[in-house]
Every structure is written in structure tokens, then in C-alpha cells.
Amino acid sequence: GAVVSQHPSWVICKSGTSVKIECRSLDFQATTMFWYRQFPKQSLMLMATSNEGSKATYEQGVEKDKFLINHASLTLSTLTVTSAHPEDSSFYICSARDWEISNPEAFFGQGTRLTVV
Amino acid sequence: AQSVAQPEDQVNVAEGNPLTVKCTYSVSGNPYLFWYVQYPNRGLQFLLKYITGDNLVKGSYGFEAEFNKSQTSFHLKKPSALVSDSALYFCAAYSGAGSYQLTFGKGTKLSVIP
């Protein structure tokens, strides 16, 4: 199957700093990527839909100025957590779908464990 | 609105016994159904999917799932559980090929006891 690479796999940062997480589709083009947040022992919560060449679509309750999404190419989307605080500590996962084929399977990155201290 | 329900937060099963992880769905149109597995601090790994065709779907690592339209269910099964199957399992659904947003169940933690 297709591969989605997410980097870094874990990061520790100080309060007030910004952190960038990258999500790459390695062997297919992804016009749309999705960013999820997962709290301990809970399901994935969709944060936003990242659209190549246009603004991201954020889910209700997600601060777009806090979680900046850029989808500058067909294979790369980035999520920047700005002015991070301890409550932003979480597991962030991206996914992408290969729209060129009829297979609607979504492929997921490895996830990024963010810890804000 | 579409929804996916996993009624059990946790399933415990003895090694070697058959396992079942339950999932029911509510979507408009024809459902596209998936099972994913997640190990600690990792992303989701694809196990199997139902798009159309045979109701019994076989997937990775010996897992299978049965699509039951009348009961709107898509339970995950394995004939003989392994300790290494212990993980978090998610059922997910699209409502047809045109839908782009995957809806997840809340997840079921499977523990296989040696």
C-alpha cells in the first residue's frame, strides 16, 4: 500500500515556542490530507482537512491561528502548533488518500507525540 | 450524519481462543468500512476493508470481518488470538466513494492473555 511519512515521531518543546510537524505522501499525490489529534485512550479527533493550494478547513472548536496548516505541494502538508502550551501536548496523526485510484483507503503517518513543558 | 459505534471499550481473550471486536455503523448510501490497528505511540495500520462483493473480508495477520447489511455491523474476527494482537482497534467508515471524511469508532482495546 501507499506510504505516508510523518516527522518527527516525537518532540519536546518549551511553552511559548512553535513546533512544525510534516506529513509526506511518499509514492502518491495527495490533494487532500487530514490532521487528527488523539488523547490518551481515546479515538482520533479530526482537526482539519488540508487542501493543496488552498486554505485548510478546520473542524468546529479548533483554533486555526493556533494550528497552522500549510499544504504547499501535492506530497507535503505541515501542521505548526504556535505558541505551544502544556495543554497542546498530545498525539498528532496525519492521513492521506490516494484519489487517483478507486480504492478509498486512507493511509496514516506514524504519528507525532508532542510534549510541551 | 454518519457514525460508527464500537460498543466495547475493552475485550479480553485468552491466547489461542477466537476473538471478536464489534462494530456497527450508520451511514447514508453504500458504506465503505475499514478496520485499523494501533500500537502504542504509533499511527494506524490498515487491516482490512469492505467496499463491495463478498460479505466476508479477509485481511492482514489472519484477521477477517463480516459485513452484515441487515444488522449494519462489521465485526472483526480472528480464529486464534496471539499475544501480539494486543492493541487498540478502530472501525471506520466512509459513506460512498465521493465522501472524503473518515468517521472512526471510539476504539476497542484488545488484550490477549497468555
Per-residue confidence band for B52, with pLDDT thresholds at 50, 70 and 90? confident
| Residue to substitute from A25, A42, A43, interface B, most B β-carbons within 10 A | A43
Phi and psi at residue B45, to the nearest 5°: -110, 135
Task: Please write the tens of the pLDDT for every residue from A17-68.
Answer: 999 999 999 988 888 899 999 988 788 899 999 888 888 999 999 999 999 9
A104-108, B38-42, B88-92: which is most confident: B88-92
| Residue to substitute from B44, B51, B60, B111, interface A, most A β-carbons within 10 A | B44
* Partners of residue B92 in chain A, C-beta under 8 Å: 106
**CB atoms closer than 10 angstroms to residue B60:** 11
Q: Which residues pair with A22 in a beta bridge?
A: A7, A78
Grid coordinates representing B21 are: 471486536
Task: Please write the tens of the pLDDT for every residue from A82-95.
Answer: 999 999 999 999 99
B14 touches chain A (CB under 8 A): no
pLDDT at residue number B96? 59
pLDDT tops 80 at residue B17: yes
A104 touches chain B (CB under 8 A): yes
pLDDT tops 60 at residue B89: yes
Phi and psi at residue B56, to the nearest 5°: -95, 120
* Partners of residue A102 in chain B, C-beta under 8 Å: 97
C-alpha–C-alpha distance, residues A11 and B63, integer Å: 34
The answer to whether A107 and A98 have CB atoms below 8 angstroms apart is: yes
Q: Which of residues 62-91 of A touch B (CB under 8 A)?
A: 91
Provide the shortest C-alpha distance from residue A71 to chain B (in Å): 17
Look at the block and give the residue holding cell 485499523.
B36
Grid coordinates representing B68 are: 452484515
Per-residue confidence band for B97, with pLDDT thresholds at 50, 70 and 90? low
CB burial of residue B70 (10 Å; 0-12, 13-18, 19+): exposed
Instruction: Supply the DSSP symbol for A87.
Output: G
